[in-house]
Amino acid sequence: MIKLCRVDHRLLHGQVAFTWCNAVSADCILIASDEAASDEIRMTTMRLAKPAGVKLVIKNIEDSIKAINSGVTDKYDLLIVTGSVKDVYDIASSCSDRIKSINLGGTMKKDDVVKSFEPAVHLNGDELDLLKKLVDDGFEIEVRQTAKDKKLVITNKDL
* Annotated active-site residue in 10, 13, 42, 66: 13
- Tell me whether residue 141 is exposed, middle or buried, using C-beta atoms within 10 angstroms of its C-beta: 0 to 12, 13 to 18, 19 or more: buried
9 is catalytic: no
Indicate which residues carry an active-site annotation.
13
